[in-house]
Amino acid sequence: MADLRRVTMRDVADAANVSVQTVSNVLRNRGRVAASTRTRVLEVIDRMGYRPHAGASSLRTRRAERVAHPIFPGELDPSNTIMLEFIRALTAAAGRRRHSLVLVDGADDVDELIRSGTVDAVVLADVAAGDPRVPTLLERGVPFACFGRIDPEISTNWIDIDSRASVCDLTSRLIAAGHRDLAFIGYQTGSRWDVDRENGFRDATAAAGLAGQVRTTASAPTAVHAAVEELLDRDSRPTAIVSGSDVLAGHIYAEAARRGIRIGDDLSVTGFDGGMAARLLRPTLTTLAIPLPDIGDWLIDRALDTVDGATELPSKLITADLVVGESARL
């Protein structure tokens, strides 16, 4: 018998001289497939020992009614409120489609999850071009959706925030409100989303003919503390600081309070994420909120629509929602 771990839907398609989509249609009993072709595909499946995962409408026409979301340990840290809210949004969206969300260890090989046959689809987050999990899911024929852009020639099953455009618009609004001495503080992770937020600030200040101060920092509290101190203790302290996250904005609030600087009056501050961290700050924080419920709905719908056989659906790039609070009047 063939090695079950090595037999893929692509292997079956090649052996039967048909497309992967035809094999998928046979397994799901969907689409127009000639009787002779269907017989040939089923014979190859039996001969090669291919085991379709439970998420497709299998030969038994059953579904697992579960959607997997791989996570890494840091994503469940209580301080990572935005990720916790994202998981809650996914859970609600899955429930609406009468499915359960299953959290799995992101450090495990995604191929092992696929072979288990216990999920219908996979939702990935923090995805960037070149993510090795995507080709594996495609080759195995497992429906999936990504929060984060991937190579368009590989798949369009993704939704993402246009952080660059969002921060550019916010910074332009601050400039229009009269600010000329602006600064940006962000994380130096090198991730696309952090780089895009910094570049959005640079785009807006350059368009207005302003220099703009940029400060990036490691995520460790001591490093953030030092970076915020440097901005606030300059002789030419900025009148507005654009933060790459709500958590960074919270650090600015704390350091400003120690110096008697009034947020919203003496110093304008903005954030990015729009999670619980933003809602706890006083004065209320002006921030760019990621519409997590909408994103959760899109991801679950896209993944399960793909299970139902939908193909060639477009990707989606959206901007963050501007929430105007008391920390920066626009």
Whose structure tokens read 């072709």?
A: 37
State the total domains in the chain.
3
Q: Say if residue 167 is in the same domain as residue 268.
A: yes
* pLDDT at site 4: 39
Same-domain check for residues 249 and 271: yes
- Do residues 156 and 296 both lie within one domain? yes
| Residue 304 counted as domain residue | yes
Measured over the CA atoms of residue 299, residue 195, residue 256 and residue 236, the dihedral's sign is: negative
Please tell me the predicted confidence (pLDDT) of residue 25. 78
Nearby residues of 218 by Cβ (< 8 Å), 6 or more positions away = 187, 188, 224
Handedness of CA 197, 201, 207, 212 (dihedral sign): negative
Q: Are 167 and 144 within one domain?
A: no
Q: Within 13 Å of residue 150, how many CA atoms lie on the same side as its CB?
A: 24
Q: What does DSSP assign to residue 49?
A: T
| Contact (Cβ atoms closer than 8 angstroms) between residue 249 and residue 285 | yes
Global model pTM greater than 0.85? no
The reply to whether 326 falls in a domain is no
305 inside domain: yes
136: left (phi over 0), alpha (psi -120 to 50) or beta: alpha
| 136 CB neighbour count, 10 Å cutoff | 18
Radius of gyration of the CA atoms of the chain, in A: 24
- Report the pLDDT value the prediction gives residue 298, as an integer from 0 to 100: 97
- Strand arrangement, sheet containing 286-289: 213-217, 182-187, 240-243, 268-273, 286-289, 321-323
123 domain-assigned: yes
Q: How far apart are CA 327 and CA 31, in angstroms?
A: 56
Q: What is the pLDDT of residue 60?
A: 38
Whether residue 154 is found in the same domain as residue 169: no
pLDDT at 34: 86
Q: Is 326 helix (H, G, I), strand (E, B) or coil?
A: coil
Q: What is the pLDDT of residue 19?
A: 86
DSSP structural state of residue 29: T
Do residues 245 and 191 both lie within one domain?
Answer: yes
Residues 85 and 190 occupy one common structural domain: no
Q: pLDDT at position 29, please?
A: 62
Q: Which domain holds residue 39?
A: 9-48
Blockwise average pLDDT, block size 10, the chain, 330 residues: 58 88 75 83 85 48 79 77 91 93 81 74 88 85 91 86 98 98 95 95 98 95 96 94 97 97 98 91 97 96 88 91 95
pLDDT value of residue 62: 57
Do 201 and 266 fall into the same domain?
Answer: yes
The answer to whether the CB of 272 falls within 8 A of the CB of 320 is yes
pLDDT score recorded for residue 30: 62
Residues 124 and 15 in one domain: no
Residues 196 and 225 in one domain: yes
In a domain, 173, yes or no: yes
Exposure on the CB side of residue 329, measured as CA atoms within 13 A = 7
Is the residue at 207 inside a domain?
yes
Question: Does some domain include residue 330?
Answer: no
